[in-house]
A = this chain, B = another copy of it.
Amino acid sequence: MTTGVRRRMGVEERRRQLIGVALELFSHRSPDEVSIDEIAAAAGISRPLVYHYFPGKLSLYEAALRRAAQDLAERFVEPQEGPLGARLLRVMGRFFDFVDEHGPGFSALMRGGPAVGSSATNALIDSVRQAAYVQILAHLGVVAPSARLELVVRSWISLAESTALIWLDGRRIPREELQRQLVHDFAALAAVSAAYDEEMAALLRHLLADEPGDGPFAALITRLATLAPA
C-alpha cells in the first residue's frame, strides 16, 4: 500500500509533502527536538527515503522555513485603499494568526541557538523583515525614505517581533489588544520622531488627515488626551 502511494508521488510532490510535514512539526516544538525519524513517520515513508530528498535535517528545516517565510510575507500584502490605521490593523491580525499557528517554532527561530541560528536562517529572517519594510513604505506612499523614517519603520518591525515573542511566552494579554496596540505604537514612534523632524511631521500630518473619527489612530489620540496633566 505505502509503496503504491510512494510510487504515485513525483519528486516535487514528495518534496512539497515532506516540507509541509516538517513545517508542521517544526512549528509546534523547538526544531532541535524534532528528529528525522519523526518526520519520516509523520510522512509515512522510511528514514532513508527522507534523506533521498533532503541531505539532512538542516536542509529540510531551511526548506520548511523558506515556505513559512513566503507565507508570512504574503500575509503582509494589503490593498492600498482606505485609512492606514485600519490597513495596519488587518495586517497585524494576519501576523498574529501566523505567530499563533507556528508559536514554538517561531520562538525558537527568533531566539536563535545552535539548531536554528545558521547564516541561511538569519538571511531568511532578514528577507521577511525587508518584505515588511517595503510593504509599509508602499502604504506610506514613500519612495525615498529619510534615515529617520527608515529608523521608525525598521525599529517598529522589531517591536512587532518582540511583542509577538513576549505574547507567546504565556499569552497573558489578549492578542486582539496587542494587535491594536502595535498599530498605536507605530503612530507613537512616528510622533516621537516627528516631534523633532519636520519631514516626519509633514508625513504624519498627511497620514492622520485621512484617518476617520472612529479609526484606531483617532481612538488613541482621544484616550491619550485624558492622560495629559491637567
Residues of A at the B interface (CB closer than 8 Å) are 111-114, 117-119, 122, 147-148, 150-151, 154-155, 158-159, 161-163, 166-167, 170, 172-173, 177-178, 180-181, 184-185, 188-189, 191-196, 201, 204-205, 208-209, 220-221, 223-224, 227-229
Contacts and interface: CB of A to CB of B under 8 A. Distances in A.
Task: Tell me what chain A mostly uses at the interface: helix, strand, loop, or mixed.
Answer: helix
16 contacts: A111-B122, A112-B117, A113-B117, A113-B122, A114-B119, A117-B117, A147-B172, A151-B163, A155-B163, A181-B192, A185-B192, A192-B220, A192-B224, A195-B220, A204-B227, A205-B229
Q: Please give the count of copies of this chain that the complex contains.
A: 2
Query: Which of A178, A193, A195, A224 has the largest number of chain B CB atoms within 10 A?
Result: A195
Contact of A177 (B161, B178, B196): B196
B195 A208 contact: no
A10 B193 CA distance: 52
A95 to B, nearest CB: 15
